Chains A and B, each alone.
Chain A
Amino acid sequence: MPSSNLVGNRERQFVVVIGFSLTLYLTDITWEVRANSRHFHKHRRRRSFLCFRWGRYADNVVRSFKYSPLTFLPLTLYEQFQRAANLYFLLMVVMQCVPAISSIPWYTTTIPLVIVLSVRGLKDLANDLVRSLTHPPITFSPSQWKDVCVGDVLRIHKDQIIPADLLLLCSSEPHSLCYVETADIDGETNLKYRQALDATHTEMTSDPTEQTLAAFNGIVLCEEPNSRLYTFRGELHWRGERHPLDSEHILLRGTVLRNTDTAFGMAIYTGSDSKILRNVGQLRVKRTQIEKVLNKVVIGVMLFLLLMALLLAVGSGVFQGRVSSQIEVLSALTRGNSPIYTAFLTYWSYVILLSPAMPMSLYITFEMIHVLHSLFIGWDVEMRGGVERSIPAQARNTSLNEELGQVGHLLSDKTGTLTQNRLLFRQFDLSWNPFSCGGLYLSDQRLVDKLRGQQCTQSRQFLTTLALCHTVMTEWRNGAPVYQAASPDEEALVGAARELGWVFLSRTRDSLTVSELGVKRHYQLLTLLDFTSQRRRMSVLVREPEGGLKLYCKGADIVILERLQKDCPHLESTERALDLFAQSCLRTLCIAERTVSEAKWEEWSKTMAQAAMTTRNHDDMLEQLHDDMERDLKLLGVTAIEDRLQDGVPETISLLRQAGLKVWVLTGDKKETAVNIGYACRLLDPDTRLLEGDELRSNIFTHTHRRKHTDTQRHTFPAGEKSALVLTGPELVNIHYRSKDLENLLIQEPEWGARFMSLAGLCQSVLCCRVTPGQKADVVTLVRKNTASITMAIGDGANDVNMIKTAHIGVGLAGVEGGQAVQNADYALAKFSFLQRLLLVHGRWSYRRIAVFLRYFLYKTCSFALVHIWFGFFNGFSAQSLYENWFIILYTVFYTAMPVECLGIFEQDVSAECSLSWPELYKVGQRQELFNTWLLAATLLHALYTSLVLFFMPLGVFYNSALDYQTMAVTVSIASLFSIILLTRHWTKWSVAAMCVSFGLFFVCTPITHSPKLFEKSPVDYYFPGTHLTSTTNAFPSPVVWFTALLTAWTAVLPSFTILMFDLFSDFPQVHITKHGPVELQKSGFRRGDSHRRSSYAMSQGRGIGRLITSGASRRITFPPVDRRGTLGDNVTLAGQTQSDDAPKNITENGSSK
């Protein structure tokens, strides 16, 4: 057939061109998959040993554990010595083993290092064990999955989870369409369709036997595995032809096949190569701001110590040259070393001697306190949610607690996070009905009775509209229809109609079947004018069973009200109802109908057919035609849908706003929905001005252009007013440059981000609508880059994973959508409202505790170690320790650890209740008032002062006296211990006990390490025998020692006490003002005439799926489908039903129970 040949040729040319362009621009298409050739792929399978990997193709087994008995030790050591601190301590150990420089023996550092390494290692091991025991749902896979190899052709049945990234070859549906639910990937509950290539479709469906599939020998060349969920580039080489592939041909692992009996696909990416697992990725190591400051300070302290060691070393060189050369006793000891060499050795000795200023126990205690704080979060009874409070809050990342007390920006997902993702048909207003003025609750039994009893045509029509005007598809399960809708709103409306007796049964391409109060009626569907975001309405034109054409229409109030017949009655009462509904933050829709004459329809459909042929101004013409049909409407009523908020959301948001947090909402939903929810959850006040679109754009410009003249800027930007930014994903991209993605934009134009953020800083909130998961993460990045504040992202679905991982802190709601968010989150909560406690109580406490703990810890170690600097001047800079070795070890581990730990665990400045009722207290953390470089510098200065006091006060007493070195060592030890304990502020019975235990330990351990027995065993290690409390000995009973220690300690802490007091007094008035300031949860009053709040008709995100329905591409689901699962031999087993099936039931049950 020449004609078909021609077509084939043309196609081939076309394909070649595309292939050329692909190879030209996309050089990374290197991933090769050969269908049905296991042999080819098997020996390229990826294997790994320790951290080495080779091979290309991952197998489909996803391991959730990291260690095996053999690899644990090397792996954990490898990981741990990647931390600079551990390496540093290892270096110390090595240095201490060199006799020439070892100023304190090797075990002073080795013992703590071994403890640290083993504790960390065991912790990692435990985490790993837990992970391998509790498979996250995404890695849960039936046993057959592991056999899937790249290139295999798989058969997927309805409701099965797709086990690998597949190229769709064909399906049982017409045009090889198939539907997938992507809830686990992007959190969207509506169905998406995928379509196979024409080439494979025609070939495979013509003879869909297993042989054809087994013989399929196409080769897919595509990009390397990556994390981009929405793009795919590649080509299929088959039978000498090249077919370009894109994401529409790909079924992603983790999605669920719906409404499609069978689909056949070829595995392209398996296991860890699959897009979803690439997306899960490694949990990025998050470091808190405090940690960063701490690290800076640690480095600063280190440098200071090194400098001091250098100066002291110079001192020792000079001492040897000038002083000890004169003293025969000492000069003999230099063994002929030159002063410079001595100085060199002394340098290292001092580095070792001063190293306890930065002890390892800091890190281990820090970690321990983190873990305990995390446990507190899990233990908190008031943060348990779910049925019978069975779901505790969970801190999955144990090292971010203090940052919970510093959050400045909360970026929240909407669906499922702020709202329950359960729409309730709450009220409707039948405007002609005198009884329904102001709207009736759906639960009102009178209404139900009235509707059922009354034969009022208008109310019937109202319900008929609800049952007919939609794009919902039904599926029969257990003898009842289950609705699958593109938008939850539609589902709610159809469900409501069902509750009131108008049961939508099924649809075909051109008909709808509805049971009206038990009477089954078939409507012929003439046309469906689908919803778009511009039109904001949808209509169906049907032929009634009795004959006669009706147009049923539903849409946003503004759109519908302007299309009504002239002198339409009840307009005023409808307006009133709309206002009322809007006030209670219900989403409203106007329902209208129109009787259309056959002649009109014929003429219209003709014009429509013509319009379809023309290509020029196609859209405009269609628009006009639609307009032509949807006019002279008769208003039937108004529906009100409640997008149910989660419990306590408005209170939480208002509390968080008082605490100084900026709450942003990032949602994939429509702008109207988002704004509506914004009002409902008190994110926006009723008088908040919304800046959107062009106004926003111009504001960003003026704002920055006049940034230098702040006075004029105040005029252009209404700073006095409350305002909020509303922008959509596309706007986000296009707002300045027409760049492809936001990330590029921000990279290219970093100033833009700064401009935007400075504008956003003046606003009370920002709503980002219609944003993709990627854009959500970009917004987080934007905030992170341009502000210093800590960002927290909260979400519940897989579409929030990106954002959760990008933010400083990610919170996942343990909710309905798969639990992916939780898997990637740092914290898991059962409810949004638990953020109150998480941030204001746990976060604030954690921040306070950790900040105070770290300062206290640095103070105690530095003050204790820096004494050696001063002592150097009195021992010829010889790196002589002023303490006994064992005191150095036990000081941080035993004697002072417990008071410090108690502080880090129990410190509470105010109770939980106070924290919640005075949210302003939270701002302390946002402003980093408790832990910043200056405070740390002050702490270190205090430590320096203390070390001076610790040394020179005893010096004054001991100078020119008969008291010896050992006595002085003990005195200084006691003094430093005293001063640490005097600084304890929060006294619980635990901290008192800890203090007593610490003291007790000191008085128990000291005699032990000073005991004659141990001295006899090893005189080098226990060289201080004889410090007993018993009368036969010298140091302890001496009153001079005690008086000196007491005085020294008090003098050491005196400045800190004084500053504390002055702080207290100067803060006094303000603290009390803020504390007693009335804290009111604003009740949002509604203002009339605010048009924003009414027209909040929200449908699915994109275009409706009406095109598919009417084109007949969709299979009719008119009868309960036969379950054919059992009859077919599977290579893929049933992977279980998802919970989302129950969703429609919930809605209807709820509706009826009200």
Chain B
Amino acid sequence: MKEELETANRPDNTAFTQQRLPAWQPMLSAGIVIPGFVLIGLAFIGIGVALFIASQNITVLEKDYTGVEITSDCYKCSNPSDKNCTCKLDFSLSNLFEGPVFFYYGLSNYFQSQRSYGVSKDDYQLSGDLDYFKTPISACSPYQYDANQNPIVPCGSLANSMFNDTFKLYQIVNGTKKLVPFDGKGIAWWTDYNIKYRNPSVTPLKNAFNGTVKPPFWSKPAYELDTSDPSNNGFVNQDFLVWMRRAALPDFRKLYRRITEGDYASGLPAGNYSLEIGYNYPVLSFGGRKKVVFSNVSWMGGKNQFLGIAYLVVGSLCVVMSTVMLIVYAKFKFPEDD
């Protein structure tokens, strides 16, 4: 009490207590604001131009293969009852498609961002915890157990609905089909491959899945996803990882393969190509669309004209605004001149 009084009696005279901290206030005078706006506008226009050019330099080839039109080869496969249907998509390139070429599949009107869909997975199970192989968490329901109460691994709707169309690209060289080699390595996020998803440390992997069943939509169990590469199976299968990384919006692409090898390392040469599609994934029931996309990338990633244009628009808006401001300012500053 006494101490408190004493401290209270001592005038505390610092810049903070006396509220005299040195401050810099943006002097919002016309002389700074208008040029400032112009500068920002110009900077944005500059970025916009750079982004736009970068985007323009990217080649994109996008083909819908849903098979809605009768003319399409995939029309025959659009009937969901038709299993193991294959169709092909022909296209020709008049110029070299510069590499490295990225090959995506795209879905639209597909709500991977739906909340209950997104949480319908078992992170513990997917990180290789065998306990959750026996009893998946309830978030996976109704893909938790099958009709016989066998646990589903990987459980949940997200995994169950994994995209399962397959693609093979052939270049038609002198009438013969030449397989374009796909590189399926490293298309998933590093953290997904190394941390988020792990197979149980059981060899062979198949044994870990004893007593479990594959998701109902899957044709093969998880440990047989890639028969060609034993290490690309289970939860660390690249296609599986890519699928499990949810898209934010109902129209999205996912990376399927890269074309980086052999004759095609520098890109796809001009010529005719045929894409052989294992048509399995049904989207027509809900008005969805499937497509394939070939694209190369620049420093800013994939083709994205929106960003460049948006920069240009906002930048120009700033410049326009500063002009208006100048006029308004002049009017207020020299009102007698009118």
Residues of A within 8 A of B (CB): 103, 133-134, 323-324, 326-330, 332-335, 349, 375-376, 378-381, 384, 388-390, 392, 845, 871, 874-876, 878-880, 882, 906, 908, 911-912, 953, 955-969, 985-990, 1012, 1015-1016, 1019-1020, 1023, 1025-1026, 1032-1034, 1038-1040, 1043-1044, 1047, 1050-1051, 1054, 1058, 1060-1062, 1064-1066, 1068-1069
A880 in contact with B118 (CB, 8 Å): yes
- Do B19 and A329 touch across chains, with their CB atoms under 8 A apart? no
Q: Is the CB of B286 within 8 A of A326?
A: yes
CB contacts (< 8 Å) of B17 on chain A: these are 375-376, 379-381
* New contact pairs (17) apart from A327-B111, A880-B113, A960-B249, CB-CB < 8 Å: A103-B115, A333-B120, A333-B157, A349-B115, A874-B113, A875-B114, A878-B113, A959-B249, A959-B251, A964-B245, A964-B247, A988-B21, A1015-B196, A1039-B299, A1043-B300, A1044-B307, A1061-B33
B262 at the interface (CB under 8 A from A): no
The answer to whether A990 and B285 have CB atoms under 8 Å apart is no
Q: Are B195 and A1054 in contact (CB under 8 A)?
A: no
Contacts of B59 in A (CB 8 A): none
Partner of A969, one of B33, B157, B191, B248: B248
Contact A878 B28, CB 8 Å, known A376-B19, A1012-B195, A1066-B332: no
Q: Is the CB of A962 within 8 A of B104?
A: yes
B118 (CB) vs chain A CBs: closest residue: A880
Closest to A1067 in B: B332
CA distance A879 to B119 in the complex (A): 12
CB distance from B95 to the nearest CB of A (A): 24
Contact check, A962 vs B195: say whether CB atoms are below 8 A apart: no
Contact assessment for A985 and B25 in the assembled complex, using a CB-CB cutoff below 8 Å: yes
Residues of B within 8 A of A962 (CB): 104, 252-255, 302
Measured in the bound complex, the distance between the Cα atoms of B329 and A911 in whole Å is 26
A333-B116, A1047-B311 in contact; A1060/B28 too (CB < 8 A)? yes
A-B pairs, 8 with minimum CB distance: A1026-B191, A1019-B123, A379-B17, A875-B113, A878-B115, A326-B286, A880-B115, A965-B248
**A-side contacts of B20, CB under 8 Å:** 911-912
Q: Does B44 lie within 8 Å of A1050, measured CB to CB?
A: yes
* Minimal beta-carbon separation of A1025 from chain B (angstroms): 5
Q: In angstroms, how far is the closest chain B Cβ from the Cβ of A912?
A: 7
Contact with A along B277-307 (1 / 0, CB 8 A): 0000010011100000000000111101011
**B108 at the A interface (CB under 8 A):** yes
Partner of A1064, one of B33, B51, B191: B33
> Is B124 engaged at the interface, CB distance under 8 Å to the other chain?
yes
CA–CA, A964 and B304, complex, Å: 15
CA distance A912 to B18 in the complex (A): 10
Min CB–CB distance B68 → chain A (angstroms): 15
Q: Name the CB-closest residue of B to A373.
A: B19
Chain B: CB-nearest residue to A1069:
B332
Which listed residue (A960, A966, A985) contacts B251, Cβ 8 A? A960
Q: A878-B116, A1047-B314, A1054-B317 are in contact. Are A968 and B248 (CB under 8 A)?
A: yes
Q: Report B58 CB to chain A, min CB distance, Å.
A: 12
Does B199 lie at the interface of the complex (its beta carbon under 8 Å from any beta carbon of A)? Answer: no
B141 contacts partner chain A, Cβ-Cβ < 8 Å: yes
Q: Does B127 contact A (CB under 8 A)?
A: yes
Q: Name B301's closest neighbour in chain A (CB-CB).
A: A1040
Q: Is B161 located at the chain interface by the 8 A CB criterion? A: yes
- The answer, yes or no, to whether B147 is at the interface (CB within 8 Å) is no
A961–B58 Cα distance when bound, in Å, is: 14
Q: Are B253 and A1065 in contact (CB under 8 A)?
A: no
B40: Cβ under 8 A from any A Cβ: yes
Contact A880 B114 (CB under 8 A): yes
Q: A1026-B189, A1047-B314 are in contact. Are A874 and B250 (CB under 8 A)?
A: yes
In the complex, residue of chain B having the shortest beta-carbon distance to the beta carbon of A349:
B115
CB nearest to A1018 among chain B residues? B123
Q: B304 touching A1040 by the CB < 8 A rule?
A: yes
B321 adjacent to chain A (CB < 8 Å): yes
CB distance from B299 to the nearest CB of A (A): 7
Give Cα A390 to B333, complex, Å: 50
A332 touches B18 (CB 8 A): no
User: Which residue of chain B lies nearest to A879 when distances are taken between CB atoms in the complex?
Assistant: B115
Q: Which residue of A lies closest to B156 (CB)?
A: A333
Please measure, in the bound complex, the distance between the C-alpha atom of A1041 and the C-alpha atom of B219, giving whole angstroms. Answer: 37
Q: Are B143 and A332 in contact (CB under 8 A)?
A: yes
Q: Are A987 and B252 in contact (CB under 8 A)?
A: no
Chain B residues with CB under 8 Å of chain A are: 1, 8-9, 11-13, 17-26, 28, 30, 33, 37, 40, 44, 47, 51, 104, 106, 108, 111-118, 120, 123-124, 127, 141-143, 157, 160-161, 189-192, 194-196, 245-255, 282, 285-287, 299-302, 304, 306-307, 310-311, 314, 317-318, 321, 325, 328-329, 332-333, 335
A874 to B249, alpha carbons, bound, how many Å?
6
Give the chain A neighbours of B248 by CB distance below 8 A.
874, 882, 958, 963-965, 967-969
Q: How far is the CA of A969 from the CA of B248 in the complex (A)?
A: 8
B307 A956 Cβ-Cβ under 8 A: yes
Pairs A–B under 8 Å by Cβ, sample size 5: A327-B285, A330-B117, A1012-B195, A1034-B190, A1069-B335
Q: A896 to B178, alpha carbons, bound, how many Å? A: 57
Q: Separation in Å of the A946 CB from the closest CB of chain B?
A: 14
Q: How many A-B residue pairs have CB under 8 A?
A: 235
Q: How far is the CA of A969 from the CA of B249 in the complex (A)?
A: 11
Q: Which residues of B contact A332 (CB under 8 A)?
A: 142-143, 157
- Shortest CB-to-CB span from B162 to chain A, Å, is 10
> Bound complex: CA of A956 vs CA of B28, how far in Å?
33
Q: How far is the CB of B170 from chain A (nearest CB, A)?
A: 24
Residues of A within 8 A of B311 (CB): 1043, 1047
B160 contact set on A, CB distance < 8 A? 329
Q: Assuming the A-B contacts A328-B285, A1043-B311, are A1016 and B127 also in contact, with contact meaning beta carbons closer than 8 angstroms in the complex?
A: yes
Q: Are A330 and B111 in contact (CB under 8 A)?
A: yes
Contact A330 B114, CB 8 Å, known A1012-B195, A1026-B192: yes
Contact A133 B1 (CB under 8 A): yes
State how many angstroms separate the Cβ of B139 from the closest Cβ of chain A.
9
Closest to B119 in A: A1020
Q: Judging by beta carbons under 8 Å apart, are A965 and B113 in contact?
A: yes
Q: Are B307 and A1054 in contact (CB under 8 A)?
A: no
Enumerate chain B residues within 8 angstroms of A384, measured Cβ to Cβ. 11
CA distance A880 to B117 in the complex (A): 10
CB pair A956–B310 under 8 Å, yes or no, is: yes
B-chain residues with CB within 8 Å of residue A987 when the two chains form the complex: 23-26
Give the distance to chain A from B57, nearest Cβ to Cβ, in Å: 15
In the complex, the answer to whether B24 meets A988 with C-beta atoms within 8 Å is yes
Cα-based distance from A392 to B13 in the complex (angstroms): 13
Q: Which residues of A contact B255 (CB under 8 A)?
A: 962
The CB with the most chain B CB atoms within 10 A, among A335, A961, A985, is that of: A961
Assembly CA distance A1051 to B111 (angstroms) = 28
In angstroms, Cα B111 to Cα A878, docked, is 10
Contacts of A956 in B (CB 8 A): 306-307, 310
A1062 touches B23 (CB 8 A): no
Q: How far is the CB of A989 from chain B (nearest CB, A)?
A: 7
B28 touches A1064 (CB 8 A): yes
Nearest-CB residue, chain B, relative to A1068: B332
For B124, the chain A residues whose CB sits under 8 A away are: 1019
Pick from A876, A1026, A1047, A1062: contact of B310, CB below 8 A.
Answer: A1047
Interface pair B11/A381, CB less than 8 Å apart: yes
Q: Tell me the complex Cα distance, A668–B280, Å.
A: 95
B249 and A958 within 8 A (CB): yes
A987-B24, A1062-B325 in contact; A957/B307 too (CB < 8 A)? yes
Residue pair A961, B252 in contact (C-beta under 8 Å): yes
CA distance A167 to B201 in the complex (A): 93
When A908-B19, A912-B19, A1043-B47 are in contact, do A1050 and B314 touch as well, CB less than 8 Å?
yes
Give Cα distance in the complex from A1019 to B198, angstroms. Answer: 13
Q: CB distance B249 to A1040 under 8 Å?
A: no
Residues of A within 8 A of B195 (CB): 1012, 1015-1016, 1025-1026
Q: Is the CB of B113 within 8 A of A329?
A: no
Residue among A326, A878, A1061 making CB contact with B285, cutoff 8 Å: A326
Q: Which residues of A contact B115 (CB under 8 A)?
A: 103, 349, 875, 878-880
